[in-house]
Amino acid sequence: MLGSFAVLRKQSLLGDAISHAALPGIAIAFLLTGTKDSNILLLGALGSGLIGTFWIRGIINKTHLKSDTALGLILSIFFGFGMLLLTFIQKQPNANQAGLDKYLFGQAATLVESDVWLMALITGLCLLVLVLFWKEFKILLFDKDYANTLGFNTKTIDILITSFIVLAIVLGLQTVGVVLMSAMLLAPAAAARQWTNKLGTMVFLAAIFGAFSGVFGTAISATQNNLSTGPVIVIVASVFVMFSFIFSPNRGLLFRQIRFIKNRRDLELHKTLAFMYHIAKSHENISHPHTIKILNDFQGYTKSTLKKLVDKNYVTLQGNMWSLTTEGFDTAANLYNQQLKKDE
């Protein structure tokens, strides 16, 4: 859901960066408290995720480094630091340490009821904030300067969105793990984007896609042994994206190809008709018959275009001869005028 905003704000890879950046937070939280209480660990993750995000912003705003560099940098450095801490923890004489690395890849099966409640709570909170600040989010997303002139505090809203994205990511970490979290954030939104141009619909669709890939993914992984949930969910989500890319009615590749072919055919038809028109114009009688042969060295001509012209009653065929009908002549004469008009 929040992914929609990330995708539209061109911050898609932020999810990836944040999920990696959360690792040192988990490790530090563990080092400080020595417990494996998931809430505290999540708090740590949230903290370091936020630090990472704002550092990325700082780099982009204050230096000439580009966003991709900043993302990659923060991602790898934080993760490396997290690994350092994790291995450091492993050497500590603390029996509690095992299982921290489950945050790396996630294990939906290890979730307990309280985790689920926490998630439900936070999802509800996200939803509430989203509904409350819908207008602000929307305007910030599409026209930041306008939002600024209207007197919205863009910075606060910006921070609000970012914080919620971080929150969502940190929560998801437990389920699908660091590496795959970014796909969970992106894939449903990217899929939803193909079906609609409206933000509201898109967010709604993204939520549905996300939920479906979660359910299907879990179901598939439950039927087989040794299949961890996270990757399966991601693959299901990717399939959704692929399907959307190909089959969505307006932006999809399939329909675009069909439209492309159709346009080309139309163009060929027009070309043939225009060619015929020029020949017919040189004769007094427009329906004077000509042989089909003279069309042969002309590129737009095929048998099927001729047949289509006949179907449209623009041309009549008699044996090897064709002749324009009055209707066809008029259409051809108006062909360019029409196109001119359309252009205007």
| Site residues (vs another protein, CB under 8 A) | 7, 10-13, 15-16, 20, 58-59, 62-66, 68-73, 75-88, 91, 101, 104-105, 179-180, 182-183, 185-187, 190, 193-194, 224, 226-228, 230-232, 234-235, 238, 241, 245, 251, 253
DSSP per-residue letters across 17-46: HHHHHHHHHHHHHHHHH----HHHHHHHHH
210, 237 contact by CB (below 8 A): yes
Which three-class secondary structure state does DSSP give residue 11?
coil
In the bound state with another protein, the residue whose beta carbon lies nearer, of 39 and 92, is 92
Give min distance, CB of 231 to another protein, in A.
4
310, 292 contact by CB (below 8 A): no
Angle between helices 229-247 and 253-281 (to 10 degrees): 10
Give min distance, CB of 151 to another protein, in A.
20
Residue 306 CA to its chain's centroid (Å): 42
In the bound state with another protein, the residue whose beta carbon lies nearer, of 83 and 111, is 83
In the bound state with another protein, the residue whose beta carbon lies nearer, of 173 and 332, is 173
Give min distance, CB of 144 to another protein, in A.
17
DSSP H or E segment with residue 323: strand 321-324
Query: How many of the other CB atoms lie within 10 Å of CB of 22?
Result: 31
Query: How many of the other CB atoms lie within 10 Å of CB of 132?
Result: 10
Give the whole-angstrom CA distance, residue 44 versus residue 52.
12
In the bound state with another protein, the residue whose beta carbon lies nearer, of 1 and 232, is 232
Give min distance, CB of 273 to another protein, in A.
32
Give min distance, CB of 281 to another protein, in A.
42
Closest CA relative to residue 29, chosen from 54, 47, 16, 17: 47
Separation of first and last alpha carbons in the chain? 40
Phi-psi group of 99: left, alpha or beta (phi > 0 → left; psi -120 to 50 → alpha; rest → beta): left
In the bound state with another protein, the residue whose beta carbon lies nearer, of 16 and 136, is 16
Give min distance, CB of 125 to another protein, in A.
25
In the bound state with another protein, the residue whose beta carbon lies nearer, of 5 and 301, is 5
Which three-class secondary structure state does DSSP give residue 324?
strand
Identity of the amino acid at 58? G
Give min distance, CB of 126 to another protein, in A.
20
In the bound state with another protein, the residue whose beta carbon lies nearer, of 245 and 275, is 245
Give min distance, CB of 20 to another protein, in A.
8
Which residues fall within 8 angstroms of residue 152, CB to CB, at 6 or more apart?
A: 136, 139, 140
In the bound state with another protein, the residue whose beta carbon lies nearer, of 172 and 328, is 172
